[in-house]
Amino acid sequence: MTKQSFIKGAMILVTASFYNRLLGFIYKIMVVRLVGSEGIGIYEMVFPFYVLILVITSAGVPLAISKLVAEEMAKSNIKGAYKVFYISIIFLTFTGITVTMILYKFLPIIVKYFYNDPRVYWSFWVMIPGIFVISVCSAFRGFFQGLQQMTPTAVSQVIEQTTRFIIGLWCAKSLIKYGVEFASMGMAIGMIAGEMVGIIVMIIFYITKRPGVKTGFVRLVHTSSMISIIKAIFYLAFPITLTRIVYSTSMTLQASLVPQRLQAAGYSLRQSTEIFGQYSGIAVTLLHLPTMVTVSLAITLVPAISEALSRNNYKLISQRINQALRITFLLGLPSMVIFLLFPFRLSELLFNTPQAGTPLKILGWGAIFLYLQQTTTGILQGLGRVKASLYNAACGASVSLIGVYYLTAIPTLGIQGTAIAANIGAIIVSMLNLLSIIKSVAFNLNFRQTVLLPLIATFVMGFTAFQLDHYLVSYSPWIIIPILSISGILYIILLILMKAINIKRILNLFIR
């Protein structure tokens, strides 16, 4: 398989991510209607802690694989790339098995002392094997991403999500008669099934599509450079791990803290679980829809910038940073306006839960900063500034958690306080990331093309959507779909007329 261009690799991941998000979105709508906000709340309380354990297990190795493999391939050293991969997969296999066994041993204690709601037990119990499966699969994905070949990751994710959709929905529907906690367990079964299919697909790609090399497995691992490779992996992996632990710990603490603080604001346990389900399972789900682009950018930026940096090609680094920031603003600004204008309509139409529009509208104000946070984190990791990324993440998470603790407990704010705290955290991280990038590498931001023109087009799009909604809202709740379609087409036309985007250049970048 040949190396793909930065934009083409991102577009492949975006296409797969679009399918996955669309299918995942439909899945979330169906399970919310099936198990309700309470059932989603049980599942969402488990998931952040599960992700935290997964981050600790993986130890940031997949991103380190991606960066180091890209650097070796920039030197045309394919044997070195394989050495990095083999050492990493041995480590991930060992840690995955170890952590899985420990979790099963201490699961009753974790549930008893960490969660207010003991109904999370069965969902957690089912998820545990995924620690091993995801860890090993991430090594294969990191290897191919380091080769700047995004197709294996995209295909495996598509098949994985399809499996999760089919099995998760069927299990949740079959188990709902036993209670919402078992319906949530059905969702967890679907997730594990998807992950198992995903790793099978990655192994098939590795067997059939990996670059050829004459040197065998044993010789690649048992070399004098093995210690230096391990040091290089952990030099990158450790701060990346800490950065992800910061984010995962923050989400885990919020999953435990938000229901507690809602109870302090006067809600019952059941009400708190339901409100948290509306926030995390619906509002945050809608907010994260555009991240199918920003996450794909972050993934492709690491090897793309690492390769350019190893060749001292700072002009190419500047170009790729500008491309990433421009795409983020082009997508993030109109998304922000949509969430501000139609939060209740979207929540009711899609999830039959208009209450989720309350936190969604607050989250909408900080949407662009969430997307910038993801893109700029990818840039910093590609530049090797993983310590700066860690520091910035820690600052944002700390402020956000403090905000959650105090603001959520205010009766007049409640879950809106949680959303405000999340926005403040995203603003802090994105701004600190941008400052770190500016200090790391000289690049000239084209403010007019990147920010100003998308902002003008977004304002016109938002005004048009508002006016159309004002005159047409009485016809049908579904009128929002043609309104958003018309406004979106107008937005793209304005960008083309103002030369904020060049269709021919985009097509050339994709084909190249």
pLDDT tens digits for range 185-230: 888 899 899 989 999 999 998 888 777 654 444 444 444 466 777 7
Question: Is 1 domain-assigned?
Answer: no
Residues 5-33 have a mean pLDDT of 74
Query: 216 — phi, psi (to 5°)?
Result: -85, 175
Q: 367 and 486, same structural domain?
A: no
Q: What does the pLDDT read at residue 7?
A: 59
Neighbouring residues of 488: CB distance < 8 A, sequence distance ≥ 6:
334, 461
* DSSP 8-state symbol, 215: S
Q: 162 and 136, same structural domain?
A: yes
Weakest-pLDDT range from 23-27, 405-409, 462-466: 23-27
* Residue 417 vs residue 139, higher pLDDT: 417
Assess contact for 195 and 130: CB atoms under 8 A.
yes
* DSSP 8-state symbol, 476: -
* Residue 210 vs residue 23, higher pLDDT: 23
Q: 268 and 282, same structural domain?
A: yes
What residue numbers bound the domain in which 474 lies? 446-512
Residues 331-350 have a mean pLDDT of 90
At residue 113, does pLDDT exceed 60? yes
Q: What does the pLDDT read at residue 297?
A: 67
CA angle 363, 368, 373 (to 5 degrees): 100
Nearest to 391 by CA among 248, 243, 496: 243
Distances (CA, A) of 112 to 116, 121, 179, 270, 506: 8, 9, 20, 18, 53
Assess contact for 328 and 353: CB atoms under 8 A.
no
Q: Which of 394, 413, 445 is the C-terminal boundary of a domain? A: 445
Quote the tokens at residue 386: 């993983």
d(Cα 193, Cα 492) in Å, to the nearest integer?
A: 39
Which of 214-228, 292-306, 342-356 is the most confident on average? 342-356
Quote the tokens at residue 125: 């119990």
Query: Which stretches does DSSP call E strand in 324-462?
Result: none
Distances (CA, A) of 385 to 119, 272, 328: 41, 39, 20
Question: Is 420 domain-assigned?
Answer: yes
* Residue 283 vs residue 39, higher pLDDT: 283
Residues 172-188 have a mean pLDDT of 85
Weakest-pLDDT range from 2-11, 131-140, 320-329, 342-351: 2-11
Q: What does the pLDDT read at residue 431?
A: 95
Q: 351 and 257, same structural domain?
A: yes
Amino acid at 229: I
Q: 255 and 279, same structural domain?
A: yes
Q: What does the pLDDT read at residue 290?
A: 81
Assess contact for 335 and 491: CB atoms under 8 A.
no
At residue 285, does pLDDT exceed 50? yes
Q: What does the pLDDT read at residue 299?
A: 65
Assess contact for 375 and 294: CB atoms under 8 A.
yes
Q: What does the pLDDT read at residue 405?
A: 93
Question: Is 499 domain-assigned?
Answer: yes
Assess contact for 294 and 326: CB atoms under 8 A.
no
Q: 221 and 314, same structural domain?
A: yes
Q: 431 and 386, same structural domain?
A: yes
Weakest-pLDDT range from 104-108, 395-399, 431-435, 487-491: 104-108
Question: Is 31 domain-assigned?
Answer: yes
* DSSP 8-state symbol, 289: T
CA angle 15, 17, 18 (to 5 degrees): 65
Weakest-pLDDT range from 17-21, 254-258, 355-359: 17-21
Q: H or E segment at 377?
A: helix 367-382
Helical pair 314-341 and 343-351, crossing angle rounded to 10 deg: 80
Q: Which of 418, 445, 472 is the C-terminal boundary of a domain? A: 445
CA angle 56, 62, 63 (to 5 degrees): 105
Q: 491 and 418, same structural domain?
A: no
Assess contact for 140 and 169: CB atoms under 8 A.
no
Nearest to 68 by CA among 237, 318, 227: 237
Helical pair 343-351 and 480-497, crossing angle rounded to 10 deg: 130
Q: 376 and 471, same structural domain?
A: no
Assess contact for 50 and 127: CB atoms under 8 A.
yes
d(Cα 164, Cα 162) in Å, to the nearest integer?
A: 5
Place 507 in a pLDDT band, splitting at 50, 70 and 90.
Answer: low
Q: 397 and 478, same structural domain?
A: no
Quote the tokens at residue 187: 């969702």
Q: Which of 410, 430, 445 is the C-terminal boundary of a domain? A: 445
Assess contact for 310 and 75: CB atoms under 8 A.
yes
- Looking at the 3D structure of the chain, how many domains does it have? 2
